[in-house]
Amino acid sequence: MAYHRRLRTISSLRTGLEEIPGVGPKRWRALLSHFGSLARLRAAEVGAIAGVDGINAELAAQIHQFLHNAPTLPTDDDDGAAEDGEE
């Protein structure tokens, strides 16, 4: 079941990152590949985000702002377990 939880988490991460104007599949893959997790991306400064290939300073600032103003994005510790205790 861990495999399916991972797929759900990755899918929801993609959806959240794609909501940022100017960030499509290629850029969110680059971001997640560079930082390794959403938590690390959230913790990154604008300059670090701008260091990712294909991300300029203006877009990095938009991504940073979006990540800090979007509490609905899943966290890396969200395992996707159902509320009724299903694992």
pTM to 2 decimals?
Answer: 0.64
Q: Which CATH architecture has domain 2-69?
A: Orthogonal Bundle (1.10)
Would you list the DSSP string of 35-84?
A: HSSHHHHHHS-HHHHHTSTT--HHHHHHHHHHHHH-TTSPPTT-----TT
6-60: per-residue pLDDT in tens?
A: 656 555 555 467 778 888 888 988 998 899 888 899 899 999 999 999 999 999 9
What burial letters (b/e) apply to 54-84, b meaning 16+ CB within 10 Å?
ebeeebbebbbebbeeeeebbeeeeeeeeee
Q: What is the pLDDT of residue 34?
A: 93
Rounded CA separation 47/49 (Å): 5
- Residue spans of the domains in the chain: they are 2-69
